[in-house]
Structure 1
Amino acid sequence: MTLFFAAVATHGLRTVLITLVPAHRLPAVLRRGLPHLAPAALAGLIVTALVGHAGPLALVVPGPTHLALAAAGLVAWRFRNPALPVLAAVAVAIVVEVLS
């Protein structure tokens, strides 16, 4: 039930901010930072996925997540398509899971 209310609150907040405060009405300083918001959020998610409960040492000890992220990085660099790296990472993660 808590998750449901959190989802409703998040969706409501997003809707209100998008409709009441469109990007063109934001101050110039905030507008310049908007293109960096998605990569920063994605980087936070990636680091959280890598570290997990293992702590900072998980960043330097290679594991299946590192392999999936490396595959995603190579596919992103080669094809410049936002969907293909995700598919590559999922495919590598599935193969590693099946083989282990």
Structure 2
Amino acid sequence: MTLLASAVATYGLRIVLITLVPAHRLPAVLRRGLPHLAPAALAGLVATALAGHAGPGALVAPGPTHLALAVAGLVAWRFRNPALPVLAAVVVAVAWEVLS
């Protein structure tokens, strides 16, 4: 029941913010920050996935995930395409698993 209530609240908040407060009506300071919102959220998800249950120390200990992220970062920087870095990271992760 709690999960359902949370989902309804989240969905309702999104609908209200999208319909009642469109981006063109936001203050200029907030509009300048909107393009950075998605990458920041993605970075938070990646950091959480990297640390997992091992804690923050897992973020500095090198491993196969760091290699995959480095390759994905280079591909993203070079090609500016959101799909290619994901594909590159998956290829590196699968190759690491096969070779080790």
TM-score bracket for the superposition, by shorter chain length: 0.7 to 0.9
Which residue of structure 2 aligns with residue 86 of structure 1? 86
Matched, 1:43 2:50: no
User: Structure 1: any 5+ residue segments left out of the alignment?
Assistant: none
TM-score normalised by structure 1 residue count: 0.80
d(CA) in 2 for partners of 1:2 and 1:83? 35
Amino acid at match of 2:25: R
Q: In structure 2, do the counterparts of structure 1 residues 10 and 98 end up closer, same or farther at CA, with 3 Å as the change threshold? A: farther
Q: Give identity over the alignment, percent.
A: 85
> CA-atom RMSD, angstroms?
2.1
TM-score normalised by structure 2 residue count: 0.80
d(CA) in 2 for partners of 1:5 and 1:92? 40
User: Structure 2: any 5+ residue segments left out of the alignment?
Assistant: none
